[in-house]
Amino acid sequence: MTKLRATDGPLGILLALTAVIVSLLAMDSLRVLGAPLLSGIVSLETQYFYLVLMFLMPLGFLLYRSNQKTDLLPLDVLLALVNFLACGWLYWHSEQILDEGWEFGGPEEAVWVSYVLWACALETVRRVAGWSLFILVSLFSLYPLAAEQMPDAISGMSVSLQDTAIYHAMSSESVLGLPFRAFANLVIGFLVFGVALKCTGGGQFFIDLAFSLLGRVRGGPAKVAILSSGLMGSMSGSVVTNVLTTGQLTIPAMKRSGFNASAAGGIEACASTGGVLLPPVMGSTAFVMATFLGMPYYDVALAAAIPAVLYFVALFLQLDAFAARENLQGADEDEIPDLLDTIKNGWYYLGAFAVLVVLLLVMQREALAPWLSTLVLLILNQFSKRHRWGARDVFDFLVASGSLFVELLIVLSGVGLIVGALSLTGLSGTLVNELLFLAGGSTLVLLLMGALTSFVLGIGMTVTAAYIFLAIVLAPALIQGGLEPLSVHLFILYCGMLSFITPPVALGAFAAASIAGSNPMSTGFKAMQFGVATYCIPFFFVLQPALILNAEPIVIVQAVFETFVGVWLIASGVQGYLPFMGVIRGFVPRVLIATGGLLIAAPGLGNIGIDIANSEFALVGIVLCGLALMVSTWLVKATSVAVDPRL
C-alpha cells in the first residue's frame, strides 16, 4: 500500500465532509431516518451507488500517493476531477442506462466515460491495495478481450473492448456488483460504529477489561491478547490494523511475563486473525457473504458463532498448556487495573455493544443497528470526563471514517471488476466444471484443494477479495458435492483468513513481529504452532452442519461437546501438557493424543458419500488417547526409576 498523505489541512476537511455526505446517503437509502428525504436526488438504487462512487473513488487520487516520494501533484487533482465528472455523468444518466440497457451497448460518449471509470478504478486499486491486487484485477478485467484464445480449461466468450468497458461501468455485475452493493447497503454503518468505538477509547477499555479479568492467571497477558484482540478484530475486520493497535500493549506485557518475542508476536497475530470470524460484526467480508447468499446478516452471524468460539477456545487451550508447561505466570499486579473501576469508567462501551447485539440478533434490524448503536455510544461518551469529545475529536472521527470508506470502496470496486469479467465471459461456470473434474468427483479432495487455494489467494489479496473470488469459482462446486451453502462460504472465509498466520507471507505475524522486535519468519512459525488446532476447525464445521446451528438442539450439543473435547486433546498433544496429568512425556504419546483428539472431533463423512460415521472415528480416537496415556505413564515411571538414588 502506498503512503497516505497528511489529512490535517484541506484534504482532511474534504474527507470529513465526504464522510458526512456518504453517511447521510446511506442512512437515507436504508430508510434509517424514516421516510426518504432525498427522493428528488435519489430515485433509483443505481443513482445512490453512483453518488457513493462519485464522492469516494476520486479521493483515492488525493489521499494516496502515486509513489512513496511524491506529494500532491496537479496530475492527482486532475485525475480526481476527471473521475468525479465521470461518476457524475453516470449518475445523471442512470435512468437511461437502466431503461435503454446501455450495459450491453450504449452511445459513444457512454463508452468513453466507461473507459475513464475503468482506468480510474485500476489506478486507485494500485494506490490503495498495492501492485499484487492491481495486477490481478487488471488481468481479469481485460480477460474478456482474449477469452476465446485461452486454453480450454479457462476459455470463455470473447467480448470487444468497448462492450467490456460498458459492462464494467454500467452493469450490476462489475464495479457496481455484489461487493460494492454490500458496502453501500450494509457495511458503511458498521464502519462508522467501529471507528466511533476506536475514537472514543473503546480499544483501551477492552484491553483494560481483559487485563482485569485474565491478567492474574498463568500466561495471563497472552489470554488478555486473545480476549481484547478478538473483540476489537470483530469491529475492525482488519487483521493488520488490529495487531498494530492492541498489539502495542499486549505484546510488551507478554514479553515481561516470560514469553519470548516470537511467541508474543505469534500469539497476538493468532488472536487478531480470529476477530474476523467473531460476531456480531465480523468485518466487511461477512456482509458481502450475506449479500452473496441472499440471506439476512444475522443468520450469517449466528452460524459463525460456534466456529468462532471454537477458534478462540482452541487458541486459549494451547496457550494455557504452553504456559503450564513453561511455568509462565500472570502479569505483575501493578499492570492489572481494578475490574470495578474499569467497568465504572467504560460501562457505556458495553451498553452500546449490547444495543448493537439486541438490534442485530434479537430485533433483526440490521439497517438500523449500527447507526443507533453509534448514536448511543457518542451520547454516552459525552458524559465521560476522560473521553468526552471536543470539536477536534469530532473532526478526527469524521476523517477516520472517510479514510476507511475510501479504502474499502476502492478495494471492493476492484474486486468487482474480477466478478464482472467472470460474469461477462461465463468463465465462472467453466471453472466450476474443471474443478469438479480435477477432484475426480470427490468432495473431500475438492475441500482440500479449496483450503489450499484459499490460503494461496489470502497471501496476495485481502480476506474479502479472496473470499469473493472463491465464492464465485469454488463454492458452487462444493455445494454440488452435497455441502451446505452457508458452511461452504464460511469455510472459504476461514481458510483465507488463516493465511495471515501462515508463512511464507503471514501478514498478521509480520506486523506483530515489527512490534515484538522478533524475526518475522520465526514469528510466523510460532503463530502457526499456536494456531495449529484452528487449522482443523473449518473442516469440522463444513462437514458437520450442527456446528453452524443447522440441526436439532441435541445434535448441536453433542457435536459441540465432541469438537470441544477433540480440540482440547489436539492442543494438549501439540503443547505436551494435559491438565490433571501434567507434562506429557515422549514424542509418540503427544502425537497419539493429538491424533486421537482429531478423530474424536472429526465429523462423519456420510454427507459427501463416504460411509464412515463420527462414532467410528471417535472410538478409534479414544483408543489412541488411552494408549498414549499408558505409554506416557510408563515413561514417567521408567524415568523416575532411572534417577532413583537408591539404585
Which of 129, 153, 179 is the last residue before a domain boundary? 179
Q: What is the pLDDT of residues 532-580, one digit of tens each?
A: 888 889 999 999 999 999 989 999 999 999 999 999 999 889 888 887 7
- Domain assignment present for 121: yes
> Model confidence over 25-50: pLDDT tens digits?
998 887 776 656 676 788 888 999 99
pLDDT (mean) for 234-247: 77
Say yes or no to pLDDT of 138 above 60: yes
Q: pLDDT tens digit string along 301-322?
A: 899 999 999 999 999 998 888 8
632-639 long-range contacts, CB within 8 A, separation 24+ = 632/581, 632/584, 632/585, 632/586, 632/589, 635/585, 635/586, 635/589, 636/585, 639/585
> What would the grid cell of residue 194 be?
467501529
In terms of residue numbers, what domain contains 582? Answer: 551-640
| Inside any domain, residue 289 | no
Residue 390 inside a domain? The answer is no
Rounded CA gap, 413 and 374, in Å? Answer: 26
- Tell whether 216 is covered by a domain: no
Residue 610 lies in a domain: yes
Q: pLDDT value at position 169? A: 94
End residue of a domain, out of 129, 148, 179:
179
pLDDT of residue 115: 97
Residue 291 has phi, psi (to 5 degrees) of -65, -45
Q: Is it the case that residue 141 has pLDDT exceeding 90?
A: yes
The reply to whether 238 falls in a domain is no
Kindly report the average pLDDT of the chain as a whole number: 86
| Residue 627: exposure state from Cβ atoms within 10 A (0-12, 13-18, ≥19) | middle
Q: What CA–CA distance (Å, rounded) separates 102 from 458?
A: 35
Query: Which of 145, 163, 179 is the last residue before a domain boundary?
Result: 179
Residue 640 pLDDT grade (very low, low, confident, very high; cuts 50, 70, 90): low
Give the total number of structural domains in the chain. 2
Q: Is residue 485 part of a domain?
A: no
**Domain for residue 633, yes or no?**
yes
Rounded Cα gap, residues 228 and 30, in angstroms: 32
